[in-house]
Amino acid sequence: GATFTTGFCPACGSTVWARADKHSSMIGVPVGAFADPAFPPPMRSVFDDSRHAWVQMPADIPRFPRGRS
């Protein structure tokens, strides 16, 4: 498995950012960290096999069952 480093909000414990050691030049920020209803929709679903059944993704995006590769 891959190794991830994550940063959490000290007040509420929410994940604020994450970085995979495999892609150390990229940082992921959870969309839930933004209170912007105009935030663009997802472009891909990564780890789609682990997605909660109630999460609806756009039908026309690429889906990766267990990661991007």
Q: At 42, which amino acid appears?
A: P
Q: Is residue 37 part of a domain?
A: no
What residue numbers bound the domain in which 10 lies?
4-31+42-64
Q: Is residue 48 part of a domain?
A: yes
The model carries a pTM of: 0.57
pLDDT in tens for each of the 69 residues of the chain?
779 999 999 999 999 999 999 888 999 988 888 888 888 888 999 889 999 999 999 999 999 988 766
Number of domains forming the structure of the chain: 1
Q: Is residue 14 part of a domain?
A: yes
Q: Is residue 69 part of a domain?
A: no
pLDDT of residue 31: 82
pLDDT of residue 54: 94
Q: Is residue 50 part of a domain?
A: yes
Q: Is residue 9 part of a domain?
A: yes
